[in-house]
Amino acid sequence: MRLRERAMKTRQAITIVTLVGFLVGAVSCMAEQDVPTLKDVLKNHFLIGGALNGRVVTGRDSLAAAIVEKHFNTATAENDLKWQRIHPWPDQYNWEPADSYVAYCEKNRMAIIGHCLVWHNQVPRWVFRDDSGNDLTRDVLLTRMKDHITTVVGRYKGRIKGWDVVNEALNEDGTLRNTPWLRIIGEGSEDKRYDYIEHAFRWAHEADPNAELYYNDYSLESSKAKCDGAVALVKHLKSKGIRIAAVGIQLHGSLTHPSVEGLEYAITSLAATGVKVMVTELDIRTQSRGYRGADISRVSRASTSDSDAASAETQKKLAEKYAEILSVLLKHKKDITRVTFWGVYDGASWIGGSPLLFDRSGQPKEAFFAVVRAARESR
């Protein structure tokens, strides 16, 4: 081929590639514009959000940030406000990750949720021990709890809308979980069994009287006994005049649970105590074998990974389950103030499989459109 012909062909090829690139860009841009916004379709019903990790709020995960900024009007810190992260040593607070989270949410005008003040997981060992490694006395542990709550809630006073004050305090049968909080502060005595929870709520209220305070737990939608335990806890707090605004049903579901009946039981019995109900950690594992709860020591990405996750059949089932859950939540929207996904897209979830509405490249899945349909069908 002569030199001039070759140059012409090269120019033509470049033009074609550029045009194709432009068209693909334009089409995907139009497609992007066509994707409805979750916070718009749900705006008359409840807040909608996700759990954010440090990579999102510092801009290192731009895929997640784009989803968050388009779709969510509320956010929960996935890990950055947990005791271990924010208060790793007795006199040392690590504010930077939490400050970045709060600043990011404010910049994007999202309702900010604090998770969590008192939990048995992700608490450094020193919290429960004295210098010789023995369990603390009740009074010393109460003082540590008070200092922590007062300092952390106080720092974000007026900025964090609501706090998961106590997280996962119940066993599956509704009794109180045997944690160091219960053992040491409750001193094994029946009349002190709710003491640590009462104190936590009182101190959180003192630190920010306008913040909403929540109790948060998993399996409330699948274990009636556990849900009844949460109802008893709320009634107890209310009988003592302690403010509690809502109970968080975490709702780590699967393709086969919760049942509509179980979810409705949880919403109606919790709401009957006079609190609001929130879905605080929504995701659906596509691999449903084995343990159903959300105890991190029993669940991991590996234990929930699913080689069929991307199949059309699994995605259809996922969409159906999300649609079912959303239609129950929308039916009870007078009692529900917020729904938060536990993560933003599949690649950044704490579990494997295909648990969220956006796939590993950030694209909305069939489940996303099923949620949008359910919202649009609700009046």
CB of 96 to ligand G3I, least distance (A): 13
Burial class (CB in 10 A: 0-12, 13-18, 19+), 336: buried
Q: Which of 252, 136, 236, 229 is nearest to 177 (CA)?
A: 229
Residues 6+ apart with CB under 8 A from 223: 172, 173, 174
Q: Distance between CA 93 and CA 115 in Å, rounded? A: 16
Residue 100 in the binding site for ligand G3I (CB under 6 A)? no
Question: Can you tell me which of 296, 301, 308, 311 binds ligand G3I, judged by CB under 6 A?
Answer: 296
Q: Where are the beta strands (DSSP E) in 204-319?
A: 212-217, 246-249, 252-254, 276-285
- Percent helix, strand, coil in the chain, to 5, is 45, 15, 40
Residue 305 in the binding site for ligand G3I (CB under 6 A)? no
Residues 6+ apart with CB under 8 A from 109: 73
Q: The tokens of 211 are what?
A: 């913040």
Q: Distance between CA 248 and CA 270 in Å, rounded? A: 10
Residue 150 and residue 206 in contact, taking contact as beta carbons nearer than 8 Å: yes
CB of 121 to ligand G3I, least distance (A): 6
Q: Provide the 3-class DSSP secondary structure of residue 115.
A: strand
Looking at beta carbons only, is 280 or 337 nearer to ligand G3I?
280
The catalytic residue among 212, 221, 281, 366 is 281
Question: Can you tell me which of 74, 223, 250, 327 binds ligand G3I, judged by CB under 6 A?
Answer: 250
Instruction: With contacts defined by CB under 6 A, name the span among 35-43, 75-83, 182-190, 271-279 that binds ligand G3I.
Output: 75-83
**CA triplet 127, 196, 149: central angle to 5 degrees?**
60
CA 217 to chain centre: 11
CB of 52 to ligand G3I, least distance (A): 11
Residue 377 appears among annotated catalytic residues: no
Residue 122 in the binding site for ligand G3I (CB under 6 A)? yes
**Binders in 166-195 for ligand G3I, by CB under 6 A:** 167
CB of 201 to ligand G3I, least distance (A): 18
Looking at beta carbons only, is 327 or 349 nearer to ligand G3I?
349
Residue 168 appears among annotated catalytic residues: yes
Question: Can you tell me which of 57, 294, 309, 357 binds ligand G3I, judged by CB under 6 A?
Answer: 294
The catalytic residue among 78, 168, 221, 366 is 168
Residue 222 in the binding site for ligand G3I (CB under 6 A)? no
Residue 306 in the binding site for ligand G3I (CB under 6 A)? no
Would you name the residues annotated as active-site residues? 168, 281
Interface ranges with ligand G3I (CB under 6 A):
78-79, 82, 121-122, 167, 218, 250, 281, 294, 296, 350
